[in-house]
Structure 1
Amino acid sequence: MQRITITIDDDLMAELDRMIERDGYPNRSEAIRDLARLGLRHAAIKAGEARDCVGVLSYVYDHEARDLARRLTVSHHHHHDLSVASLHVHLDAERCLEISVLKGRSDEVQHFADTITSQRAVAYGELKIIPQTVQPEHHHEE
């Protein structure tokens, strides 16, 4: 393990300390290691270096919107090789939440998520990608 020294301004340190307290990290080092891992995963995905991944796509849509439910279903069927599982939740009379677990190449997973979340009447959409090459080293207890 390497030891480094960094300088952080007071406002950023206060924000980091609030996160450490809120999330129950045992110390600053573990929190900064987790933030570094997150940043490295994000950079690898952005650079196209993360090939295989697992993705969690969540989106809220108006199920009454003209032909939307059918288009979403067709998209999932056309990408059956990426889709591992889905959960469908009725939020209220008009809105539904779908959560899809996806697995495949990160560029294909991202493209599929973009086709879903860009549909008219999809009110919210978010994709979280976890590169499969990254082994978790997370030691913080919740």
Structure 2
Amino acid sequence: MKIVRFGVSIPEELLQKFDKIINEKGYANRSEAIRDLIRDFIVRYEWEKGDMEVAGTITIVYNHDEADVVKELLDLQHEYLDEIVSSLHVHMDEHNCLEVVVVKGRASKIKEIADRLISLKGVKHGKLVMTTTGRELL
């Protein structure tokens, strides 16, 4: 793999903030941090296109006493057997549960699953965390 050097012009204050953050996060240098930012940008772009295979997690917090939320969660997970790899269930307290669903498949299908899970009645909060299978990244 050939390494290419390029210059970036940014305000000094912005660079100082960037340097502080990458130092706190433990990056060895700016180049490593910028490579990670570029990879993240590429992954998000690929997800937006919706036509490639991706991986991710859907995390939801829900009240298990609410209506039929538990049954609906299970039904949805069985409906997407090809895309749902695994799930983790945690009892947060006597009423609230955390569910983490690991998914892999076409981006458009993964977004569909996340939207359906997060919009269920009884779900208090949900988030899709997207990533790539890694095949396309350098």
Q: Given the two structures, how large is their TM-score scaled by the length of structure 2? A: 0.91
Aligned-residue Cα RMSD (Å) equals: 1.4
For residues 1-142 of structure 1, what are the structure 2 equivalents within 5 Å? 1-49=3-51, 51-132=52-133, 133-135=135-137
Matched-pair contact (CA < 8 Å) for 2:59–2:98: yes
Worse overlay, 15-24 or 80-89: 15-24
CA distance in 2, matches of 1:104, 1:127: 14
Look up the equivalent residue of 1:3 and give its one-letter code.
R
For 2:17, the aligned partner's letter is E
Q: Deviations over 1:23-70 (max 9, x none)?
A: 100001110110011011111211235x11111111111111011111
* Structure 1: tracts of 5 or more residues without a match: 138-142
1:129, distance to aligned residue in structure 2 (A): 1.9
Give me the whole-angstrom Cα distance separating, in 2, the residues matched to 1:58 and 1:10. 38
SS at match of 1:96: strand
Please give the alpha-carbon distance, in whole angstroms, between the structure 2 residues aligned to 1:62 and 1:8. 46
Moved over 4 A (4+): none
The superposition leaves residues 72-128 of structure 1 with CA deviations (integer Å, 9 ceiling, x where unpaired) of 111101111111111000011111000111111111111001100011221111112
Aligned residues: 135
- Kindly indicate whether the alpha-carbon contact (under 8 Å) linking 2:90 and 2:98 is maintained by their aligned counterparts in 1: yes
The Cα shift of 1:13 comes to: 1.6
CA offset at residue 20 of structure 1? 0.5
Provide the rounded CA distance (Å) in 1 between the counterparts of 2:123 and 2:39.
31
Percent identity among equivalent residues? Answer: 34
Residue aligned with 2:116, SS: helix
TM-score (norm 1): 0.88
